[in-house]
Structure 1
């Protein structure tokens, strides 16, 4: 039996929440019934974050007291684009992150997920607050902005320099896609994207690569993009497809070898759980074996993202995919 633990990100239920099918109490009850840890999205599900009202905090407190969940992580966003005419200054970003740290502590979380584009230069100035409030700052390594991204490397350099248990990484498993998500391809097929473009993406994945690698040379669009991809783009939908296809990476697991000492959390990204009980694009059985061999003892948090690729008129299957993924994780962990 592995020491890897399971949780669910409320991001997986965002459509249920946004449409009012599930409010916060229903989500707490649902996750309590699944027996997993809880990952919160305070910007989405708590008004006036990072400074909620006492009334909102009392609602939260009552739910925590009633269900006694394991509070794993709060996903936060430093909203640097809050103003129409400018981005946050460094000082404003620091102050915003300090507020988020204090809120995480107040809610009962010991870790916050920093969105991928969080400024690296605001981490050291807030480290004393992270220590004081016992909150780990964990940058998300997300597909499309993985370890070769200059912005990500800026954070990694700061993280290594500080060498603190309060600064780490949240690894999004979208960097381990072995096939392009089928729901993604079908969604754009529905919009009229030509089959040649979709087939090219499938072919690139089958070769062991991905479109981010295929399209670029030295970080910029290369000859293959101009020759093979751009030549197939005729419509706005095809432009959007080509842009978003870059966001699914096909990295080997050993890309994590040097970063595992800093891995504080994993997002178990899923797009489509199949009838066979596996994720169509990501081999979680192999990934969990790798993590176990590396001694990882933290959480893998189900993060369903296939909802955005639901075809018009089709049901949104957030609960079904979440439950199927939790069953897969449980099986894989117990078999180790």
Structure 2
């Protein structure tokens, strides 16, 4: 499979936003063995999405004990399809390791293992989960420098840029002033509307229609989730109805303008999306509001499509992750002002 499009330029000087894909997007097809790792890479290249984000635990059997042959084949794929390794998503299980909590030294060693792996893949960014304590990351800065991989703490809903949990990282970053410590931004913090694919799943499961509409309207009105949950209880909601209302705790809308304060520390963007319609528009997330702010702030990095709608439709529909990602890439190309957006 050959590359069909080339990367365009953005609308503002200083911003160099490139398109990529998190291979997490293809988890359904990979799990069902409809696609191999190479099939996933080839699909990205066919869309002109040349940045590749990886999840070793999910798609690299044998990790962390991968052979030299695996890495050689990985670089062969990157060269063949013209793709670039961008970000490795690390995991750190601090509380379930052989029935005990990992010591600080063990956590540092685990992070070094992932930094080494990211380096061997050719990635320059590593996603760090937000429960990794700041003091652990400070200890890892010299390791990140050694491997040439920047550590980006993921800002993921229900947290946001101004959340106290995130601000403690910002304080450490300010103090350390290291170019190897920053953020990975997840687009889920810009959920403008309650995702329709989630609502329809609850509808299929038997949620009360009037309560579905109440929850949808309350989210769009930015009503505090606890108030909505209480409303649903007072409306006589079933456990399923209450469960739908509780989902609001895990979705939020942030003002994109706050990105401008943090732009120098944003290393990478997870282009999360739940559903692309047939007009190449995401049905719930505020890409039209966020992309211009990234351009205004001079963001230089990748936005990698991260399809997560599969889990909300797999009970009733055949999943076509490749088509969903292709539509998402066309939307990104359009919003980034790429001349060949329609041909992605």
TM over 0.5: yes
Unaligned runs of 5+ in 1: 217-223
Cα separation, partners in 2 of 1:34 and 1:262, compared to 1, 3 Å: same
CA contact (8 A) 2:25 2:325 kept: yes
1:12 maps onto 2:25 in alignment? yes
C-alpha distance in 1, partners of 2:198/2:297? Answer: 32
C-alpha distance in 1, partners of 2:319/2:98? Answer: 33
Query: What are the within-5 Å matches in structure 2 for residues 90-105 of structure 1?
Result: 90-105=104-119
Per the alignment, residue 142 of structure 2 pairs with 128
Once the two structures are overlaid, the 10-residue window that deviates more, 236-245 or 88-97, is 236-245
Per the alignment, residue 288 of structure 2 pairs with 285
For the aligned residue pairs, the C-alpha RMSD in angstroms reads 2.1
* 1:215 alignment partner, one of 222, 225, 233: 225
Per the alignment, residue 220 of structure 1 pairs with none
Unaligned runs of 5+ in 2: 1-8, 11-15, 340-344
Cα separation, partners in 2 of 1:232 and 1:49, compared to 1, 3 Å: farther
1:246 maps onto 2:249 in alignment? yes
- Which string of whole-angstrom CA distances, capped at 9 and with x for unpartnered residues, describes residues 184-212 of structure 1? 111111112223432232222332x25xx
C-alpha distance in 2, partners of 1:43/1:233? Answer: 43
Cα separation, partners in 2 of 1:56 and 1:246, compared to 1, 3 Å: same
What's the CA shift for 1:99? 0.7
1:305 maps onto 2:319 in alignment? no
Per the alignment, residue 125 of structure 2 pairs with 111
C-alpha distance in 2, partners of 1:233/1:160? Answer: 49
Once the two structures are overlaid, the 10-residue window that deviates more, 41-50 or 322-331, is 41-50
Per the alignment, residue 153 of structure 1 pairs with 167
1:29 maps onto 2:42 in alignment? yes
Per the alignment, residue 83 of structure 1 pairs with 97
Per the alignment, residue 6 of structure 2 pairs with none
- Which string of whole-angstrom CA distances, capped at 9 and with x for unpartnered residues, describes residues 59-115 of structure 1? 323323433411111111112244363332222211100111111101111110112
TM-score, structure 2 as length reference:
0.88
Cα separation, partners in 2 of 1:204 and 1:168, compared to 1, 3 Å: same
Cα separation, partners in 2 of 1:226 and 1:249, compared to 1, 3 Å: closer
Cα separation, partners in 2 of 1:233 and 1:85, compared to 1, 3 Å: farther
* 1:256 alignment partner, one of 256, 259, 263: 259
Cα separation, partners in 2 of 1:68 and 1:79, compared to 1, 3 Å: farther
CA contact (8 A) 1:51 1:103 kept: no
- How many residues are treated as equivalent by the alignment? 325
Per the alignment, residue 186 of structure 1 pairs with 200
What's the CA shift for 1:42? 1.3
What's the CA shift for 1:121? 2.0
Per the alignment, residue 272 of structure 1 pairs with 275
C-alpha distance in 1, partners of 2:54/2:120? Answer: 13
What's the CA shift for 1:35? 2.0
C-alpha distance in 2, partners of 1:186/1:12? Answer: 21
C-alpha distance in 1, partners of 2:236/2:33? Answer: 38
- Which string of whole-angstrom CA distances, capped at 9 and with x for unpartnered residues, describes residues 201-260 of structure 1? 2222332x25xxx035xxxxxxx2564144357544334323322222111111223211
Partner SS state of residue 321, structure 1: helix
C-alpha distance in 2, partners of 1:170/1:247? Answer: 18
Per the alignment, residue 231 of structure 1 pairs with 234
Once the two structures are overlaid, the 10-residue window that deviates more, 174-183 or 190-199, is 190-199
